[in-house]
Amino acid sequence: MFSLFKKKEFFSKEENDKIVAAIRNAEKCTSGEVRVFVESKCKFIDPLDRAVEIFTELKMQSTQDRNGVLVYVALKDRQLAIYGDTGINAKTGEQYWKDAVNKMISQFNKENYAEGISNCVIEIGQALQHYFPYDKEADKNELPDEIIFGK
């Protein structure tokens, strides 16, 4: 099907592959799920509100242990947020997410967007592994690992 719109490329193939590999590695040792959503502009004043909206639209609250985490980035608006479901948030607390956002911002300030996202995902994976270790009998990949791109 012919389209008049060209999909915006936020990352090079190598950067995209690096982020997806970080997601897969983060999920390898945990029952938790990590997703990354990237778009140009945030339609909310508070990016956390947008992250919650996307989290719900993607049905991430449907994971068995409520241990899904969404990393949200609006590149052009220079906004980001991390939203952890109730299961993981109860274990880590709010300060954990604030610290993770600050580390990502540090990389973004150097224009290392893929590096910032992949490092953040790896650290989230470590927290998920600590609180929700992999169970080879029961664990399955509940959500896709690819980056989701908005407008």
CATH of the domain at 23: 3.10.310.50
Domain around 106: 13-132
- Average pLDDT on 104-116 reads 96
* Residue 30 is assigned to a structural domain of this protein: yes
- Is pLDDT above 50 for 148? yes
- Residue 137 falls inside a structural domain: no
Q: How many domains does the chain have?
A: 1
Let me know if residue 23 belongs to a domain: yes
Any domain includes 139: no
With 0-12 / 13-18 / 19 or more C-beta atoms within 10 angstroms meaning exposed / middle / buried, residue 66 is middle
Residue 4: what pLDDT? Answer: 39
| CA-based R_g, the chain, Å | 15
Does the structure show a pLDDT above 80 at 138? no
Residue 8 included in any domain: no
Residues 54-87 have pLDDT tens digits of: 999 999 999 989 999 999 999 999 999 999 999 9
Residue 141 neighbours by CB distance under 10 Å: 11
Predicted local confidence at residue 136, as pLDDT: 80
The structure's pTM equals 0.92
